[in-house]
Amino acid sequence: MTPPASPVTRRRIRGDGVDLAVYEQGDRSRPTVLLVHGYPDTHAVWDEVAERLSGRFHVVRYDVRGAGASSRPFGRKRYTFGYLMADLQAVMDATAPDRKVHLVGHDWGSIQAWEAACTMPDRFASFTSISGPCLDHVGHWMRRRLARPTPSNLRRAAGQAARSWYIYFFQTPLLPELMWRAGLSRPFARALELGEGVPPRPGHPAATMARDGASGVGLYRANMLRRLRGPLDRRTDVPVQVIVPTRDLFVSPHLVGGLAARVPNLSIRPVKAGHWVPRSHPDEVAGWITEHMTGARSGPLDATGPRAPRRAPLDVG
């Protein structure tokens, strides 16, 4: 039986030049799980999952820069990974300063969480990634397939390129912002309901979506093409769970191929769902996060010692 949800408290903390709206639930003495949202969402995309986790854990969420009730800096330079990592660190320092955090990310929240898990692994007890791959891994994945242009490799590379059409559109000056401000939020919400079975609920899609979408294109302009064209050699020893929605219209399930070589402690969970799986399958997502957290040790920041790796049950190549 799932324990009852805890009330939500909100406060503001200072990130790197921005004010961040932070939302907490649950007993602060219990293990902390940090849920990071993607684009063009806010913390509210996690509402159902947070409700299910808050009876057992200290649940932390925040609106990333450019979204929801947080500050909206102008210009692409303010959305680079360096600023995102500083914000993430500020949230952890304010909510769980003396212990490791269980990190969970969806979409762009997962993309930046990969950066965190690879650059400051000692800060995390576990990481669950959903529909947001490591950009460096994607860059290497594409290069390997193009270097061996078999029909299968070319088909998979082309499939991901087709899913990523919006990335290139977002590089266009002004047009994406104008479309969001002209009313793109309404058809977006309708497509979410019809395409993924995710009906609107209070907070999601957010009333601020037009501004969130316009500001958040900075994430794509500041980071995407640079990393995909010149991928770094990213690795992490953090225990990683990748939840793979097999009906994702934006992220190919095949992107997990080769990931085990860079993440020795890896498990993969496929689910027949679309991109917004935290909204469409909150019971399953909360259950898998709980299982992954329980299997990974959560302790003080100076905790050391090996963890037994878990074999990924699926690698789709």
Per the structure, how many domains does the chain have?
1
User: Residue 48 has what pLDDT?
Assistant: 97
Residue 241, amino acid: Q
Predicted confidence at residue 298, as pLDDT, reads: 59
> Can you give the pLDDT at residue 6?
81
Q: Say if 174 falls within a structural domain.
A: yes
Is there a domain that residue 221 lies in? yes
In-domain check, residue 307: no
Q: Answer whether residue 180 is part of any domain.
A: yes
271: CATH: 3.40.50.1820
What are 13-29's pLDDT values in tens digits? 999 999 999 999 999 99
- For the sheet containing 124-130, what is the strand order? 9-14, 19-25, 58-62, 32-36, 101-106, 124-130, 240-245, 266-271
**Residue 204, in any domain of the structure:** yes
CB 94, CB 13: distance < 8 Å: yes
Q: What is the pLDDT along the chain (317 residues), one digit of tens a residue?
A: 566 778 999 999 999 999 999 999 999 999 999 999 999 999 999 999 999 999 999 999 999 999 999 999 998 999 999 999 999 999 999 999 999 999 999 999 999 999 999 999 999 999 999 999 999 999 999 999 999 999 999 999 999 999 999 999 999 999 999 999 999 999 999 999 999 999 999 999 999 999 999 999 999 999 999 999 999 999 999 999 999 999 999 999 999 999 999 999 999 999 999 999 999 999 999 999 999 999 886 566 654 333 333 434 444 44
Q: Is residue 302 part of a domain?
A: no
Domain for residue 162, yes or no?
yes
| Alpha carbon distance 208, 194 (integer Å) | 21
d(CA 239, CA 48): 24
Decide: residue 45, CB within 10 A, 0-12 exposed, 13-18 middle, 19+ buried.
Answer: buried
Identify the domain containing residue 244 by its residue range: 9-295
Nearest 5°: CA angle at 240, between 9 and 192? 60
Q: Give a yes or no: residue 20 inside a domain.
A: yes
- At 84, which amino acid appears? L
Please state the pTM of the whole predicted model.
0.93
